Amino acid sequence: MADHTLKPEVFELNNGSMQVKITNYGAIITSLSVPDKHGNWADVVLGFDSVEPYVKGAAPFFGCIVGRVANRIKDGKFSLDGVEYTLPINKPPNSLHGGFKGFDKVVWEVAEYKKGENPSITFKYRSRDGEEGYPGDVSVMATYTLTSSTTMRLDMEAVPENKPTPISLAQHTYWNLAGHHSGNILDHSIQIWGSHITPVDQNTVPTGEIMPVKGTPFDFTTEKKIGASINEVPGLGYDHNYVLDCGEEKSGLKHAAKLKEPSTSRVLNLWTNAPGMQFYTGNYVNGVVGKGGAVYGKHSGVCLETQGFPNAINQPNFPSVVVRPGESYQHTMLFEFSVE
């Protein structure tokens, strides 16, 4: 047998108008640079200068794809077709983002790498039956493509081979449109096309309720500064799943969010086909030393993680995240950068 040991490497997608660096370790976006209104480029994602700190576990999920199931599963337990499954409790008392060694902590195979006008890279990973407690073998693919001058598309696909299983992947990049090293994101404004959230208990697990955001600090149905009502949110900031129920559609994707940074005029519009989006304001980031020695503190980045609803496997009224053999899980995200 040939030695198929995969090693973490960094790959670049560059079309002249934006530059993205991605590693096959966790399918992580390590850097993404786009111009501001004056044509000045900045790297707008939190991360590290090399692959090593990611591999050593220094990052709180910076830039990665998380799975087999993103977000929290209550008490690390679920049952499916009458079989009970127990998952690692890696964020007590729950299982988070696939367990101790989720998709973010494995080396993916590079299936295809294309340069040129629409550069792309495709990563493949085979998740084994019983891995982190989940049932069945699953083949996973993730393709990042620069589809136009300042637009990046991510297509995620997962196919269960022999057993039904919950599948819900999320892209966990922390964004700071002023530049990764520029401090907190509380002055960014955001609009979220979600008129409801799934409120959570004291362990950040949804209660099962679907709550209107109107008249609460969670209302971003019109553009508002992230910091405007953050102090009214119980806990350390926003870490909530929005029900994406009011965005216009474009080629099968719904408008999920629009993030805007006032000093540079950089804008990120996010489109997706997922039912929910975790809006997370980097509440637990605490003195992480990142690229160029930048120190990332609380709220130094914002995550817009489109996803299945958290703990959906245990909440019959949430959209199902169960995928059966013969079916395929498909999740697309479109990141459109601009200035305005």
Q: pLDDT of 159-183, one tens digit each? A: 999 999 999 999 999 999 999 999 9
Rg (alpha carbons) of the chain, rounded to whole number: 19
Question: Tokens 């084994």 — which residue?
Answer: 128
Residue 310 lies in a domain: yes
CA–CA gap between residue 94 and residue 79 (Å, rounded): 15
| Number of domains making up the chain | 1
| Cis amide prior to 68 (ω within 30 degrees) | yes
Q: Which residue out of 172, 180, 196, 255 is catalytically annotated?
A: 172
DSSP label at residue 16:
S
Residue 244 lies in a domain: no
CA–CA gap between residue 196 and residue 319 (Å, rounded): 14
Q: Which residue out of 132, 157, 261, 305 is catalytically annotated?
A: 305
Structure token pair of residue 336: 């459109």
Question: Tokens 């996973």 — which residue?
Answer: 140
Residue 242 lies in a domain: no
CA–CA gap between residue 183 and residue 204 (Å, rounded): 26
Distances (CA, A) of 117 to 19, 38, 148, 268, 314: 12, 24, 8, 21, 44
Task: Mark whether 305 is an active-site residue.
Answer: yes
Task: Mark whether 299 is an active-site residue.
Answer: no
Residue 5 lies in a domain: no
Pick left, alpha or beta for residue 136 (phi over 0 → left; psi -120 to 50 → alpha; otherwise beta): left
> Reduced to 3 states, what is the DSSP secondary structure of residue 132?
helix
DSSP label at residue 128:
P
Residue 300 lies in a domain: yes
DSSP label at residue 217:
T
pTM above 0.85, yes or no: yes
- Enumerate residues 6+ apart whose C-beta is below 8 A from 68: 98, 102, 103, 127, 131, 132, 134, 138, 158, 165, 166, 167, 168, 169
* Mean pLDDT, contiguous 10-residue spans, the chain (340 residues): 75 97 98 97 98 96 98 98 98 98 98 96 98 98 97 98 98 98 98 98 96 98 98 95 95 97 98 98 97 98 98 98 98 98
Residue 192 lies in a domain: no
Q: Which domain holds residue 115?
A: 10-184+266-339
Residue 153 lies in a domain: yes
CB atoms within 10 A of CB 315: 19
Inter-residue contact 66 to 102 (CB < 8 Å): yes
Max Cα-Cα span within the chain: 63
Q: For 56, how many CA atoms within 13 A lie in the half-sphere containing its CB? A: 6
- Domain containing residue 154: CATH number: 2.70.98.10
What pLDDT score was predicted for residue 4?
A: 59
CA–CA gap between residue 209 and residue 198 (Å, rounded): 6
Inter-residue contact 151 to 334 (CB < 8 Å): yes
55 membership: H or E segment, kind and range: helix 52-55
Backbone angles phi, psi at 86, to 5 degrees: -120, 130
What pLDDT score was predicted for residue 1?
A: 47
Residue 232 lies in a domain: no
Tell me the residue type at 251.
Answer: S
Helix then strand then coil, in percent of the chain rounded to 5, is 5, 45, 50
Backbone angles phi, psi at 53, to 5 degrees: -60, -35
- Distance between terminal CA atoms of the chain? 55
Question: Tokens 């198929």 — which residue?
Answer: 4
